[in-house]
Structure 1
Amino acid sequence: MSDTPIIAQKAPYPVEVTAGKTYFWCTCGRSDSQPFCDGSHKETGFAPMKYEAEADKTLFFCGCKATGNAPLCDGAHNKL
């Protein structure tokens, strides 16, 4: 399998997060539960990234998997 993630979408995923809740962002792009992990990375070199929300708010999780600010969008999708 490739060590390059699959682009799930070329736009961020807006998500209402809850303070204190832990989220596992998909790093491989294979999950059917984007932007979060569903275990599809099994037998790849990928693992989900743990993110713990500090406040109740809307965050924009990266969909292209090319962000330099993982797991959040930094606009990298605009260069793909």
Structure 2
Amino acid sequence: MSHSEVHRAGDAPIKVDLVEGETYCWCACGRSNTQPFCDGSHQGTGLDPVVFVAQKSETVFLCCCKQTGTPPLCDGSHKKRE
């Protein structure tokens, strides 16, 4: 297994209430213990979190399977099994 391999952190997205103007760090590697957010577990993997600022206060579903084509938002990729 490659050290930079992305891990599937879950089989469903996580509902999150974003706050306008707040900065968030979405875990892109799947190793974080604070899903769907980064806890620094990616260090040394060559993978980086997706850092974003909420454009408005809203409820969103953030990807946990780490296969989304629209990171950090869920696009339903968790429903596709290999």
TM-score by length of 1: 0.95
- Provide the C-alpha distance between the structure 2 equivalents of 1:65 and 1:74, rounded to a whole number of angstroms: 10
Structure 2 unaligned spans of 5+: none
Report the alpha carbon displacement of residue 3 of structure 1 after superposing the two structures with TM. Answer: 2.9
- Provide the C-alpha distance between the structure 1 equivalents of 2:12 and 2:3, rounded to a whole number of angstroms: 22
- Provide the C-alpha distance between the structure 2 equivalents of 1:3 and 1:44, rounded to a whole number of angstroms: 5
Match of 1:21 in 2: 22
Match of 1:49 in 2: 50
Match of 1:36 in 2: 37
In the TM superposition, structure 1's runs of 4+ consecutive aligned residues that sit over 4 Å from their partners are none
Structure 1 unaligned spans of 5+: none
- Provide the C-alpha distance between the structure 1 equivalents of 2:71 and 2:57, rounded to a whole number of angstroms: 19
Report the alpha carbon displacement of residue 4 of structure 1 after superposing the two structures with TM. Answer: 2.5
SS of 1:77's partner is helix
How many residues matched?
80
- Provide the C-alpha distance between the structure 1 equivalents of 2:38 and 2:4, rounded to a whole number of angstroms: 17
Report the alpha carbon displacement of residue 2 of structure 1 after superposing the two structures with TM. Answer: 3.3
**Within 5 A, what are the aligned runs for 1:4-15?**
4-15=5-16
Is 2:76 aligned against 1:79? no
Q: Which amino acid aligns with 1:33?
A: T
- Provide the C-alpha distance between the structure 2 equivalents of 1:78 and 1:7, rounded to a whole number of angstroms: 12
Quote the sequence identity (%): 49
